[in-house]
């Protein structure tokens, strides 16, 4: 089944993305904004989680009300920058397990190189949410999801913050079954594979490495 990418146009999301883009935003604030955006995107990406009805005694009466139906979830941040999104996601999904996949882009070819992969042993039984703030050429997200599928996962979503049209198209073509949620769709990639206008290098800005 082929699904359309979702670009969140909520005012809070747009406001926070604008702050994130600003080159004068420092590491501490940048990290906080990435985490807050992850939380807001998580809210939207989990809209279809199944619920079940339970009876709860309020101080006034018995209420028939809904709780999550206990679906097993796994978060998989793409190292490094995806790590910045984990805390925000876990704030809303505290029972989710966390796997890690390490990929870096070869600076010349822009092709992703995998250097680490550790996923929950029962990943095949979990709904997986892959996290990476930047979807540029789309190669990292494509390869990360290919690896996760090889280990048996079938239900996968991708949450990012800024996407380039090229990245969205590549991810959608490679994995049409994957729901994609991002906060902004930018204009294009420059000759170095950076998203324009983008926000620069997400990993460096989160971890203060430049």
Q: How far is the CB of 63 from ligand URA (least distance, A)?
A: 46
The CA distance from 198 to 162, in Å, is: 7
Residues 159 and 41: beta-carbon distance below 8 Å: yes
**Residue 178 partner contact from ligand URA, ligand PRP, none using kind-dependent CB cut-offs of 5 to 8 Å:** none
* Residue 132 in the binding site for ligand PRP (CB under 6 A): yes
* Residue 78 in the binding site for ligand URA (CB under 6 A): no
Residue among 161, 197, 165 nearest 182 (CA): 161
The full DSSP string for 101-129 is: EEEEE-TTT--EEEEEEE--TTGGGSEEE
Q: What is the CA radius of gyration of the chain?
A: 18
Q: Which one of residues 129, 135, 161, 178 is an interface residue with ligand PRP (CB under 6 A)?
A: 135
What x-and-dash track marks residues 108-127 binding ligand PRP by CB under 6 A?
A: --x-x---------------
What x-and-dash track marks residues 19-48 binding ligand PRP by CB under 6 A?
A: ------------------------------
The CA distance from 147 to 144, in Å, is: 5
Q: How far is the CB of 199 from ligand PRP (least distance, A)?
A: 11
């Amino acid at each position: 089944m082929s699904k359309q990418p979702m670009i969140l146009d909520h005012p809070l999301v747009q406001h926070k993305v604008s702050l994130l883009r600003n080159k004068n935003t420092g590491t501490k604030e940048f990290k906080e904004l990435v985490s807050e955006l992850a939380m807001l995107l998580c809210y939207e990406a989990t809209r279809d989680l199944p619920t079940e009805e339970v009876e709860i005694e309020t101080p006034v009466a018995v209420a028939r009300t809904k709780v999550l139906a206990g679906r097993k979830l796994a978060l998989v941040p793409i190292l490094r920058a995806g790590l910045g999104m984990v805390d925000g996601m876990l704030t809303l999904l505290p029972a989710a397990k966390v796997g890690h996949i390490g990929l870096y882009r070869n600076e010349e070819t822009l092709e992703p190189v995998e250097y680490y992969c550790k996923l929950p042993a029962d990943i095949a039984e979990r709904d997986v949410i892959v996290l990476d703030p930047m979807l540029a050429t789309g190669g990292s997200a494509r390869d990360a999801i290919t690896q996760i599928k090889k280990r048996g996962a079938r239900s996968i979503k991708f949450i990012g913050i800024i996407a380039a049209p090229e990245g969205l198209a590549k991810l959608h073509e490679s994995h049409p079954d994957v729901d994609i949620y991002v906060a902004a769709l930018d204009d294009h990639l420059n000759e170095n594979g950076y998203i324009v206008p983008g926000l620069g290098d997400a990993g460096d800005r989160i971890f203060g490495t430049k």
